[in-house]
Amino acid sequence: MSKVKEMKSENLSISKEQLEKVQALQADLQKFCAHIGGLEVQKAKAIYQINMLEKEMEDFKKSIEDEYGPININLTDGTYEVIPTDKE
């Protein structure tokens, strides 16, 4: 027959210092998890904004291409070069 220690129903406690340390560590963990959650929300908003800006850029490029045809634009001074096509 195996020997199994029976747990007594008395209240067992860790020391006050150990309890305070565990509580402090748990509080820090919760704080950093909440902080990460906030950062994830900021990240999601930034990704959404990037997607909106990319769409706006594509739409604007299309409007420029409709006016000038296919071109490469120098973003420093606004000059452009026409991109040769097979039709030319």
pLDDT of 7 higher than 80: no
Residue 62 has what pLDDT? 97
Q: pTM of this prediction?
A: 0.65
Task: Give me the mean pLDDT over the 7-30 stretch.
Answer: 91
Nearest to 66 by CA among 76, 58, 74: 58
The pLDDT tens digits of the residues spanning 23-71 come to: 999 999 999 999 999 999 999 999 999 999 999 999 999 999 999 999 9
Nearest to 61 by CA among 69, 77, 51: 69
Task: Give me the mean pLDDT over the 10-35 stretch.
Answer: 96
Domain boundaries, the chain: 16-82
Residue 85 has what pLDDT? 85
Residue 21 has what pLDDT? 98
Task: Give me the mean pLDDT over the 6-23 stretch.
Answer: 87
**DSSP-based three-state secondary structure for 41:** helix
Residue 11 has what pLDDT? 85
